Amino acid sequence: MSCKKHSLLSLFLLLFSLCTFAQTNISGVVKDINKAPLQKVSIAIKGQKRTTFSDENGAFRFSDLPAGKYIIHFSHTGFELQDLTVYSEEKEAGSVEIILLPTTEQLQTVEITGRKEIGYKNTNSFIGTKTATPLKDVPQSISYVTKELMQDQASVRIGDVVKNMSGVNQFTFYDDLTIRGFRINGGSTTQLMNGMRTFTGFWKQPMVNFLERVEVIKGPASALFGNASPGGTINRVTKKPLEENRKSLSFTMGSFNTTRALADFTGPLNDEKTILYRLNIGYENAESFRVLQFDKNIVIAPSVSFLPTEKTRINFDAVYNKSNSRLDRGQSIFNGQDLYSTPISQSLSATNDYLNEETYTVMASLNHQFSSRLSFNLAYLRTGYTEDLLEHRSANAYAVDSAGNPINSLVARQVFVRKKNPASANASAYLTYDANTGKIGHKLLVGYDYSQATLSPGASQMTATNYQLKNGGVAAYNPANAANYVFYKYTTADGTVINIPKPNVPAYDLIKRENKLEDMNKYVYVAQNATVMPSFSSLGGFYAQDQLKFGALQLLLGVRYETYTDRPFYKTDTVRKVRQHAFLPRVGLVYGITRNINLYGVYTKGYNPQDAATQNNPLTGGPFDPIESELVEGGVKAEWLQGKLTTNLSVYHIRQKNTLYPAGVANQPDLLTQIGEETAKGVEVDVTGQLTDNWNIIATYSYNDAVISNAAGTDKDLVGLQKPNAPKQQGSLWTKYTIPSGQVKGLGVAIGGNFVTKRNVSLNKVQTLPGYALLNAGLFYKVNKVQLQLNFNNLTDKVYWVGGYDYLRLFPGAPRNWQATISYTF
């Protein structure tokens, strides 16, 4: 062999050796969902005997690997197993970042463990299945708002929160909402706290400082929770104790003489961390842009967790709220004139009005794991409420002249003096069992719950209304008997002096707009205790559910059999009993197109019992079947950017039937017919995520065609009209970015807004409210443990209305306002 040939062969062998034995390194960092480093994570290269563990910084490294394709396996107690494919062609493959998600098997089957995620995104929920299930695997739309978003927006009440939810809109100032066009309110026990039935008292929205998040399951949730609104069910999730010490204090001052102080403390009470606590305290003293309106609130919300063994957890939660305020019945405008004919600050209250409320909720729950497959859950919740009310309010009509015609500038008023003390209690017990039949996984659930709502004897109401008679009595005005009434002189807007009937309670003059101390000794009162008669209602339901999983396909099958009992005139000699039954199925399907994209569909039925007073009135033509509803919904749930961003798209159709309408039969005004029907169909989009460690975003949009589709009698003219306070379109956007480094590190800015299109408020007169769009912003600056926060709302000072009943009871939104907050965490 020549030297030349030998040299070429040597060069070829050298190049082959370099290619074959090229070495590479693979390194990275393992973090949890809050981007905190995870240590002692087991990291292995599949197919090789190469294993390492992450250090205290979450870092790991494999050295001297041949170039090629590697599958890295990550495992850690309490987290989902995860594989990562790495292609290493160069000497240094570079650093990778892996986020491990909490495994649902390690999460409790009732929500008694504090949420550890930090940010706008929430991974799991219990409201959809009563078990810890990733939201993308729930075959029904669920909207939520976390405490971090509430804090960034300086949200105080539910009305501040729901603007971030698709398809949810305010109906009034009160704890009173529409979901997909169907109304729910805090005065009924169809709302949930930690998945248990409760109520809030309706008139005032409670503060949200003690809540971990607010969530809404769209459509009837009756298969799990019994009778509920067909639009959806709202669930308030309270903050739970955590194993690590966290403490925070915040102080807020702002527009309308607002002062607020909040505290949140949590951590272990012993070294073994078997007793955990959390305490939330809130104080508020705020006036309003509305004349004579104010709110003074004290909220105390303790929570304690006992962990006697690794398999048993006992929780105790309580919320106490004391509220002193006035009841705001809304703005009235001149009869027949536009919405801007009176200022949005105008109310009908008198100086001597008051609304004093006390609400308490106590909840105890037990979770015991018999094995890794079988667990038992038991919970009890009780809510009590007392109301002490004196109010001057609209009589829902204008005052009249001698001929009985309404006077343009005078709003007829009435006075309510009321005391009542409703309460509710409910208990729930269920078992969950994980099993496998061949390749099909099952998560079985079977349970029973019982709830009752009572209004005890002693509740009463006195009402002053109508017009004064010469004999000292009062009556509705009848022009045919004008000689029997007391008259007085009134000067109209054009200076004309006329004689008009004298009301029992002075009418409110929209020209003078005087809110003053009224002499109530001159009023004639009538007892109206029929409106607050003792009452008792109860619900009892058996339910069963199976979540089946076969590869990429998941099937949810659920059913509930419920009995509803109502006893009007409870604890009186005239007590009656109304009983109804309902069989409520639910079928849901989820199919994973990819690991990050799921298609889903669901069919479920719901119901609401008819009013007991209607059922027992022989003149109505009853008894009547319950109001029934059904939902058909489908959509796409997806995760992007390694789970940092979630998007949900849902398309739905809701039908509610058996609504009662007047029959329109002459001389039978109480006769009803049960052919009413309402439908809602639409599209909703929700986007939530943390795009980087310092950039959060939430965006929503909904289109909702909610109409009356069938009616009878005079109400047949309403067919095709959009339901009250149900905008056809609404949406929101909020995004926050914090500068991570440099001289202005810790400086954050947020901007967002929401819009609502035109709404109907009174269908009989087809009264409407205009649409609106609001712009909001926030500035944040955090240095170590101190944060300064400044929030601006309604930056363009838009005049708008959040809802209303009619043009005598309108509920305007707040003008431009600000809040400044300083908070300290330690």
Up-side HSE of residue 717: CA atoms within 13 Å toward CB? Answer: 6
Domains of the chain, with CATH numbers?
Answer: 23-99 (2.60.40.1120)
The whole-angstrom separation of Cα 511 and Cα 332 is: 12
The whole-angstrom separation of Cα 362 and Cα 193 is: 10
The whole-angstrom separation of Cα 527 and Cα 597 is: 61
C-alpha separations of 143 from 55, 510, 702, 728 in Å: 37, 41, 12, 18
- Is the peptide bond preceding residue 623 cis, with omega within 30 degrees of 0? yes
Enumerate the β-bridge partners of residue 68.
88
The whole-angstrom separation of Cα 171 and Cα 179 is: 10
Token couple for 16: 């082959």
Kind of pairing, strands 312-325 and 354-369?
A: antiparallel
Furthest-apart CA pair in the chain: how many Å? 139
Strand, helix or coil at 150?
helix
The whole-angstrom separation of Cα 683 and Cα 87 is: 41
In the numeric block, the tokens 């004919």 are attached to 341
In the numeric block, the tokens 């609504």 are attached to 659
pLDDT at res. 674: 80
What lies within 8 Å, CB to CB, of 82 at 6+ separation is 73, 74, 98, 100, 101
The whole-angstrom separation of Cα 619 and Cα 710 is: 23
Mean pLDDT of successive 10-residue stretches along the chain, which has 826 residues: 50 46 78 78 85 88 83 77 75 70 48 64 84 89 94 95 96 93 83 89 90 93 84 93 92 98 96 94 97 97 93 94 96 92 96 97 94 91 97 94 94 96 95 92 95 90 96 95 95 86 96 93 88 85 95 95 85 78 94 94 90 69 84 96 91 91 68 85 96 93 95 83 95 97 94 97 86 98 95 98 94 98 96
The whole-angstrom separation of Cα 206 and Cα 186 is: 10
Token couple for 689: 């995520």
In 3D, which of 451, 658, 676, 660 has the Cα closest to residue 564?
451
The whole-angstrom separation of Cα 436 and Cα 546 is: 12
The whole-angstrom separation of Cα 554 and Cα 195 is: 23
Sheet holding 50-53, edge to edge: 50-53, 42-45, 68-75, 82-88
- The secondary structure of residue 531, as a DSSP letter, is G
Strand, helix or coil at 223?
helix
pLDDT at res. 336: 82
The whole-angstrom separation of Cα 251 and Cα 284 is: 10
What lies within 8 Å, CB to CB, of 641 at 6+ separation is 689, 691
DSSP run (H or E) holding 181:
none
The whole-angstrom separation of Cα 275 and Cα 15 is: 66
Strand, helix or coil at 809?
strand
Angle at 216 between CA 213 and CA 219, to 5 degrees: 170
* Burial class, 480, CB count within 10 angstroms (exposed 0-12 / middle 13-18 / buried 19+): exposed
Residue 678 CA to its chain's centroid (Å): 23
Strand, helix or coil at 105?
helix
In the numeric block, the tokens 């001149």 are attached to 334
The whole-angstrom separation of Cα 77 and Cα 85 is: 22
Strand, helix or coil at 11?
helix
Write out the DSSP string of 580-624: EEEEEEEEEEEEESSSSEEEEEEEEEEEEPPPHHHHH-TTTT---
pLDDT at res. 109: 42
The whole-angstrom separation of Cα 115 and Cα 527 is: 50
In 3D, which of 724, 715, 688, 683 has the Cα closest to residue 701?
683
The whole-angstrom separation of Cα 726 and Cα 771 is: 11
CB-based contact 814:802 (threshold 8 Å): no
pTM of the model: 0.84
In the numeric block, the tokens 């008694």 are attached to 112
Cα-atom radius of gyration of the chain, to the nearest Å? 31
Residue type, 507: A
Task: Output phi, psi for 225, to 5 deg.
Answer: -115, 0
Residue 8 CA to its chain's centroid (Å): 77
Angle at 371 between CA 367 and CA 375, to 5 degrees: 30
In 3D, which of 411, 396, 340, 346 has the Cα closest to residue 800?
340
In the numeric block, the tokens 């105390």 are attached to 300
CB-based contact 719:712 (threshold 8 Å): no
- What torsion, rounded to 10 degrees, do the Cα atoms 502, 505, 508, 514 define? 110
The whole-angstrom separation of Cα 486 and Cα 504 is: 10
CB-based contact 502:487 (threshold 8 Å): yes
Task: Output phi, psi for 223, to 5 deg.
Answer: -60, -25
In this structure, how many other beta carbons lie within 10 angstroms of the beta carbon of residue 441?
15
